[in-house]
Structure 1
């Protein structure tokens, strides 16, 4: 069994790593008849194509930028930033294999049998966030209404922007994808006509949990999917560097170990291989890796210029509120 870890110590570029890993996966899959490894290889090729042929991302990000300009005009008091990224290779690899582990486990616990290849392949065809954009907002305290808290104001603006986004992008060649009832919003601040498209991780969660609004669009020009996340600054801080980030990691590791305990080794090769690939990724010592353009002093100080550990940025914009601009002037 080949794993991503086998290619991260050669000094190769990301492109060469993706090429070699996907080719070896495909070669092994043809020898063993493993259809999931073939799908895995094609998944890696998608990432490589995004990194190599990114002309369409320039056009796509310009359309996203139009919403940034719209927000700057409509919400001059609001501070916000826009970021776009291609999912990092390590995160994408972990997610692909994590889906296999999770789906097979859930299916086994319910049916005491393993899913068919066709069922598993259908589960793995749901990736929609290899390209993702994030909008983070915050209203400066000096603009709060009387008796209005920071959280209330930030939520009011966040949901207002969420109400505008689908229609704005649909006029520019994007199609909002139904969320199919996943994390359906119960917020009175979100309009009924857009609720079917959002996965609302704010409703029902506390301020120390992961909170965000997620919506998926299909870009009709490039024929690709992308995800947009909307968060307040507090939500973004919690998700990126706070309690939610740490707890999510811990829960994920505990969950995978529990699943391994339930599925007998050797009964399902797809589960065994996916679990092992996830386990090896967790044991990576970043300071020992040798990837072109990538170096790390230790596991806390990472300089990742190639999209291995952190997503490749494709859209950085930051807007200061009118008040902050006045201070700069």
Structure 2
């Protein structure tokens, strides 16, 4: 079985690693008539295209910047950041194989049989977050008459921004994608006309503490999808350096082991291969890798300048709150 791990010790660039991995995987998939691996190759091609031919990101980020300027004008008292990234190679590979494992497991538990290959292939066409942007807001306490109202005020502003965002970007060539009822919001702060487009992870807080609003757009100019996340600074801290970050990793490991125990080994090659690829990625010792523009002391202290692990940043904008001594009405 061909895995990404086998290509991460050669000293090559990320693009060269992708080219070799995809080429060998494609040859093997054709020889063994493995339809899922053919879809896997198409997925790797999408990542390569983003890394090699990303001129469209300049135009896309400029349109996002227009919303940044709108917010700076509308909310001069808020502090906020706009970030954008292309999903990293390791995270993308983990997610692709994770989808296979999850879908086959769920199907098997419901039907005691394995899903038709066509259904599985269709499930693997649902990636919408290879490009993602994040808006993180914070309300300085100096603007509040009662500092205890900070969280409530930040959430109110977050939903207010969420109400405006879809129409703003649609006027600039994006099409907002319905969620199909997934994590539908019931917040009274979200307008009915935008409710079908948001996955609301703020309501019904998860066990890990993860909270965020997610929305997906299709860029009609670039012909690609992008995801946008809206968070307060506290939500972002919990997701990036807090409980949601660490517990999510542990939860993925526990779920993966439970799924392996439930599916008899050797009965479904697609499950077996995806599970093995995912486990090997989880077991990577990053300090031992030899990839151009990547260096690590251990699994925590990482300097990744190529999008291998953390993702390539494509949009850093930061707005610092003005009128620091004024209170808002």
Common fold by TM > 0.5:
yes
Query: 2:171 & 2:157 partners in 1: Cα distance?
Result: 22
Preserved contact between residue 182 and residue 199 of structure 1 (Cα < 8 Å): yes
Q: Displacement of 1:150 after TM fit? A: 1.2
Q: Displacement of 1:325 after TM fit? A: 10
Indicate the residue corresponding to 2:252 in structure 1. 252
Indicate the residue corresponding to 2:225 in structure 1. 225
Preserved contact between residue 11 and residue 292 of structure 2 (Cα < 8 Å): yes
Preserved contact between residue 208 and residue 247 of structure 2 (Cα < 8 Å): no
Indicate the residue corresponding to 1:143 in structure 2. 143
Indicate the residue corresponding to 1:292 in structure 2. 292
Indicate the residue corresponding to 2:318 in structure 1. 318
Query: 1:39 & 1:162 partners in 2: Cα distance?
Result: 34
Q: After the TM superposition, which segments of 4 or more aligned residues of structure 1 sit over 2 Å from their partners?
A: 145-148, 323-326
Indicate the residue corresponding to 1:161 in structure 2. 161
Query: 1:92 & 1:185 partners in 2: Cα distance?
Result: 27
Q: Displacement of 1:239 after TM fit? A: 0.2
Rate the CA distance shift 1:325–1:302 in 2: closer, same or farther, 3 A. Answer: farther
Indicate the residue corresponding to 1:213 in structure 2. 213
Q: Displacement of 1:323 after TM fit? A: 3.5
Rate the CA distance shift 1:100–1:93 in 2: closer, same or farther, 3 A. Answer: same
Query: What is the CA RMSD across the aligned residues, in angstroms?
Result: 1.3
Query: 1:300 & 1:79 partners in 2: Cα distance?
Result: 28
Query: 1:305 & 1:2 partners in 2: Cα distance?
Result: 26
Question: Any unmatched runs of 5+ in structure 1?
Answer: none
Preserved contact between residue 207 and residue 235 of structure 1 (Cα < 8 Å): no
- Determine helix, strand or coil for the equivalent of 2:316: strand
Question: Any unmatched runs of 5+ in structure 2?
Answer: none
Indicate the residue corresponding to 2:192 in structure 1. 192
List aligned pairs for 1:271-290, cutoff 5 A. Answer: 271-290=271-290
Q: Displacement of 1:208 after TM fit? A: 5.8
User: 1:41 aligned to 2:41?
Assistant: yes
Query: 1:181 & 1:278 partners in 2: Cα distance?
Result: 29
Indicate the residue corresponding to 1:23 in structure 2. 23
TM-score by length of 1: 0.97
Preserved contact between residue 158 and residue 232 of structure 2 (Cα < 8 Å): yes
Query: 1:279 & 1:217 partners in 2: Cα distance?
Result: 32
Indicate the residue corresponding to 2:77 in structure 1. 77
